[in-house]
Amino acid sequence: MTSSRGERLLDVRGLTVRFPTSDGIVQAVSDVSFSLSRGETLGIVGESGSGKSVSNLAIMGLLNRTRTVIAGEVDFKGRDLLTLPPDDLRKVRGKEIAMVFQDPFACLHPMYRVGAQIAEAFSAHSDAGKDAAWSRAVELLDHVGIPNAKSRARDYPHQFSGGMRQRAMIAMALVHNPDILICDEPTTALDVTVQAQILELIEDVKREFDIGVILVTHDLGVVAETANSVMVMYAGRVMEYGPAAEIFSRPQHPYAWGLLDSMPSIERRLDALVPIEGSPPSLLAPPSGCPFHPRCPYRFEPCATERPPLKVPADNAHLDACHLPYEKKVELGEERAKKVAA
């Protein structure tokens, strides 16, 4: 895969998450496999409900165990997180794998001081005293760019702006120098100008702390800026997975094409945007065959009945799950590229 620059941290194999509900079984994540190395940023892209967040919550053990069925393997430095006893998994959370969430307005406890919440993350895995925890909190707040960190640590979350809160969340994630930082839509709730700062901060932090980053987003622009590798998810399945440069220059899956064509940018006028027709399928009864086939303009005979396996279709290509012959994908891809350029 892309980054062999660091030690392999995470190997997810065949991750499957099911939520039994009164309406039936929600097939939130089906057979998802990916890996992450130190120093790598993996972008996980997809529409809402594609299973990106659920996959990560499953890895962190943050899904309610009594109401979810999880299968597969999450190999973290030689341990399978899915079979780890709850208390051992708790010791991994926030220490070796940390997570930053989407909405910094809702993710900090409104009644505790920001510094105290960060210090608490430190104390959760350390016997060092309160003072040590507090100074660690101040140190990290300063590190993530909060001015006057010493006094701002005594503030309550409502006294912080959105960007500052997200910085505080990142500081909280870093208290124990984790191996992996999972960022679940870290910029979605923020102003555009602040978004860039937060992404930059995540990149800086990745380098300084030498960690692996999983960046979950529905914003391809975010991924293009920061990710080394990209995994495109749809209806709980992996559609395409490979190095970021390849995904953006030679996307192989019609769904990825659709995502790229519906992405606004400065160069492209709004009327040149091509939305993907239709809407994502219900995960209670996902379509047979390829989950994308009802919306796919290139579907042909096997798509509705046979599920395309995730495989590398040719040399020099990356993983995708599509029945189209590779030559056809290249041809259609080039056509598409011309249209975009025009």
The contact set with other proteins (CB under 8 A) reads 60, 62, 87, 90-95, 98-99, 101, 103, 106-112, 117, 120-121, 124-125, 156, 158, 169, 172
Looking at the Cβ atoms of 98 and 201, the one nearer to other proteins is 98
Query: How far, in Å, CA of 43 to CA of 255, rounded?
Result: 16
Polymer length of the chain: 342
Residue 8 CB burial class (10 angstroms; 0-12, 13-18, ≥19): middle
Q: How many CA atoms lie within 13 A of 85 on its CB side?
A: 2
CA dihedral 261, 264, 266, 272 (to 10 degrees): 50
Minimum distance of other proteins from residue 76's CB (angstroms): 14
* Phi-psi category of residue 116: left, alpha or beta, with phi > 0 → left and psi -120 to 50 → alpha: alpha
Nearest Cα residue to 113 out of 163, 162, 151: 151
Nearer Cβ to other proteins (29/239): 29
All residues at 6 or more sequence positions from 45 whose CB lies less than 8 Å from its CB, including other chains? 52, 217, 218, 220, 223, 230, 231, 232, 233, 259
DSSP state for residue 157 in the 8-state scheme: G
Q: Of 14, 58, 30, which Cα lies nearest the Cα of 216? A: 58
How far apart are CB 29 and other proteins at their closest, in Å?
18
Six token digits for residue 240:
């395409």
Nearer to other proteins, 176 or 336 (CB): 176
CB atoms within 10 A of CB 239: 28
- In the complex, what is the shortest distance from the CB of residue 105 to other proteins, in angstroms, rounded to a whole number? 9
* Residue 339 host element (H or E): helix 326-341
247, two tokens: 């995904």
Q: How far is the CB of 84 from other proteins (least distance, A)?
A: 13
Q: How far is the CB of 153 from other proteins (least distance, A)?
A: 14
CB of 27 to other proteins, least distance (A): 22
Residue 105 or 248 having the CB closest to other proteins: 105
In angstroms, rounded to a whole number, what is the distance separating the alpha carbons of residues 106 and 184? Answer: 14
Of 26 and 172, CB closest to other proteins? 172
Output 154 or 328, the one with its CB closest to other proteins: 154
β-strands 8-21, 180-184 pairing:
unpaired
For residue 27, the one-letter residue type is: Q
CB of 110 to other proteins, least distance (A): 6
Decide whether 3 or 187 has the Cβ nearer to other proteins.
187
Which residue, chain included where needed, has tokens 């920001």? Answer: 114
Closest separation in Å from C-beta 34 to other proteins = 20
Residue number, 49 or 94, with CB nearest to other proteins: 94
Q: Give whichever of 29 and 232 is closer to other proteins, judged by the CB atom.
A: 29
Minimal distance, residue 189 CB to other proteins, in Å: 11
